[in-house]
Amino acid sequence: MDKIMRIAIDGPVGAGKSTIAKAVAERLGFIYIDTGALYRAIGVHCAKNGVDVDDDKATAEHIAGMEADLRLAENGQRVFVNGEDLTDKIRTPEASMLASRVSANPRVRGFLLDLQRSFARDNSVIMDGRDIGTVVLPDAELKIFLTADAEERAKRRYDELAAKGVDTDYEAVLADLNKRDYDDSHRDFAPLKMADDAVLTDTTGNTFEQSVEEIMGIINEKLGK
């Protein structure tokens, strides 16, 4: 494809954005950017260094000299903070909640905005998050809002954590998910919401393969295939 195309996929936690977007990007030969990994990494780094992520001023001061980066590797995307690879430390319920809390900080979102946009300047990308279509890439050629009902999203997240050996239970995952849904959609700065020109896609009841095919169908229609 000669023309650069930016695809923005937004939606609540556990909707399958990352896994679906990654699979679709591989099919299309696009670069996949998981922006949520950046927020998770910053949250984990702050907690690791004793920073109260609910203290906007302290968090802003901590990130002032921080370097965050996404790097493409053979085994997928890796996320670094100040040169430390945090990829394997950010897929826990605790990291998820830390991400939600730091993402409510306008200074954190501003800090990451140029970095996220820089990936889409010269490459065809699929970027997923909470505010990609509304804030990060408002001029994206295609915007998709991906969702599913809360119970199914919690089950998917629970199965994912269990497969990684994380000790948790379904009710705790569901409670965390509901809290994050509320926090993400009610924050003052860049709340989770569907862009006016986004395509709403509900994957409740879908298998992973069905969801990938549905998204590919939307993209191919946009591309005129």
Two tokens, residue 10: 């937004």
Amino acid code (one letter) for 216: M
Measured in whole angstroms, the distance separating CA 88 from the mean position of its chain's CA atoms is: 16
Give the separation between CA 151 and CA 185, rounded to whole angstroms. Answer: 18
Cα separation, 62 vs 164, whole angstroms: 30
The predicted structure's pLDDT at residue 60: 93
Each residue's pLDDT, cut to its tens digit, for the chain (225 residues) gives 568 899 999 999 889 998 999 999 999 999 898 888 999 999 999 999 999 999 999 999 999 989 998 887 777 789 999 999 999 999 888 898 899 899 889 999 999 898 889 888 888 999 998 899 999 999 999 999 999 999 999 999 899 888 888 888 999 999 999 998 998 899 888 889 999 999 999 999 999 999 999 999 999 998 776
Q: Give the predicted TM-score (pTM) of the model.
A: 0.82
Domains and CATH numbers, the chain: 6-218 (3.40.50.300)
pLDDT at 1: 52
* pLDDT for position 223: 79
DSSP codes, 107-152? HHHHHHHHHHHHHTTSS-EEEEESSIIIII-TT-SEEEEEE--HHH
